[in-house]
Amino acid sequence: MIQEIKNIYHLLVAVFANIIFFFPSRKLIVIGVTGTDGKTTTANIISHILNSSGKKTAVVSSLGFSIDGKKEDIGFHVTTPSPVKLQHLIFKARRNKAKYLVLEVTSHAINQHRIFGIPFKIGVLTNITYEHLDYHKTFDNYFKTKANLLDNSKTAVVNRDDGTYTFMVDYERKKDPKNWITYGLSDSADINPNNFPFKTKLIGDFNKYNCLSAITVCKVLGVGSEEIRKAIESYDNPVGRADIYYDREFKIIVDFAHTPNAFEQILKGVKPISKGKLIHVFGSAGKRDESKRPMMGEISSQFSDIIILTAEDPRSESVSKISSEIESGIKNKKSQIIKNPNRREAIQTAINMAKKDDLILLTGKAHEKSININGKELPWNEYEEIDLALKSRFNGKNK
């Protein structure tokens, strides 16, 4: 009930924001990307393809606002900004003569009407897996909220291979068949690697799905197939997304994964390139969905030789409590478990213990510029912490 009242307030703010910025999205071709995982990479691949083909495009994602190569932060732990901030960014995109806007859309943003007034030409649904049940309470609520973007988009682009696809029948029936387009690795999808082969530098099947969703969107928008292929092949991962940051005697990969599904996908993706031990450094956010923590521990232990549990925005929760809840799901007793609530020390431990051909995977923080401890946002840079630990180990000669 309280959230419903808050949502009415958010709606009124969104109406006001549209009015004061003259409904700027009406003058743009808007592509919305939602899903549990893959939103940021998908949104940025779409933007890259469009820009590469000469179509001026702005993008708003968890990495910030970007147009003409210029980037702007949108705040700590933010994906879809508040209605006023969002409409201001859309206004800036239009003022800079963008024709296209790619918008990463969270379930919170949909539920809270932050995207009210935006006419989506294309809505993309990457996948729906276990996440945000602290907010939505049930998976059904979460599913319906995500799928709402498809209802409010002229054309729906949907992952045919996702486990929730069978529940999409009602949404598909509402669309003209030509406005319901699927993608996937299986031949049953409208767009798949067999009928649209492509090359990418990105690792893992999860990134093939991200590429295929972007390919589908850009085909709908009329971009030529060869232009799409060239852009896909030239695309480098965004910061903090399966990012191979260090690759010498051992590897260090940084990824934003913070859900059970994202864990499974990134771990599956990096395991084949790990010739030695896989060392996984992670935690789980405080004051968020607690039920996913044991699942994250179980999944990590299926792939990791060494698990280092540490802080990841614990907020007012105890890091030790969060780590214990993650550990409770670990069934593979062969995995060595180390606990250190200090993330800086945890990273140092991982780098100091790494041997030739080992792979260190750091998940959960990636691009973020702060870490929330005891309710306070403290400066944090995952990459700077890696550099410090490497310099310490190699006496200042890590590069």
- SS3 for the chain is CHHHHHHHHHHHHHHHHHHHCCCHHHHCEEEEEECCCCHHHHHHHHHHHHHHCCCCEEEEECCEEEECCEEECCCCCCCCCCHHHHHHHHHHHHHCCCCEEEEECCHHHHHCCCCCCCCEEEEEECCCCCCCHHHHCCHHHHHHHHHHHHHCEEEEEEECCCCCHHHHHHHHHCCCHHHEEEECCCCCCCECCCCCCCCCCCCCHHHHHHHHHHHHHHHHCCCCHHHHHHHHHHCCCCCCCCEEEEECCCEEEEECCCCHHHHHHHHHHHHHHCCCCEEEEECCCCCCCHHHHHHHHHHHHHHCCEEEECCCCCECCCHHHHHHHHHCCCCCCCCEEEECCCHHHHHHHHHHHCCCCCEEEEECCCCCCEEEECCEEEECCHHHHHHHHHHHHCCCCCC
Residue 191's pLDDT is what? 98
| pLDDT mean over 97-104 | 97
| pLDDT mean over 220-233 | 98
Residue 133's pLDDT is what? 66
| pLDDT mean over 307-312 | 98
Per residue in 136-181, pLDDT (tens digit) is 889 899 999 999 999 999 999 999 999 999 999 999 999 999 999 9
Residue 398's pLDDT is what? 54
Residue 397's pLDDT is what? 60
| pLDDT mean over 339-358 | 98
The Cα 135–Cα 336 span in angstroms is 33
The Cα 121–Cα 51 span in angstroms is 18
Residue 89's pLDDT is what? 97
CB of 241 closer than 8 Å to CB of 265? no
On average, the pLDDT of the chain sits at: 94
Nearest Cα neighbor of 391 from 344, 333, 351, 335 is 351
Q: What are the structural domains, with CATH classification, of the chain?
A: 2-234 (3.40.1190.10), 243-393 (3.90.190.20)
Nearest Cα neighbor of 341 from 279, 383, 267, 284 is 284
Percent of the chain with pLDDT over 70: 98
Q: Which residue has the higher pLDDT, 131 or 385?
A: 385
End-to-end CA distance of the chain: 55
- Tell how far CA 36 is from the center of its chain: 8
Count other Cβ atoms within 10 Å, centred on residue 342: 12
Q: Which residue has the higher pLDDT, 238 or 25?
A: 25
Residue 396's pLDDT is what? 63
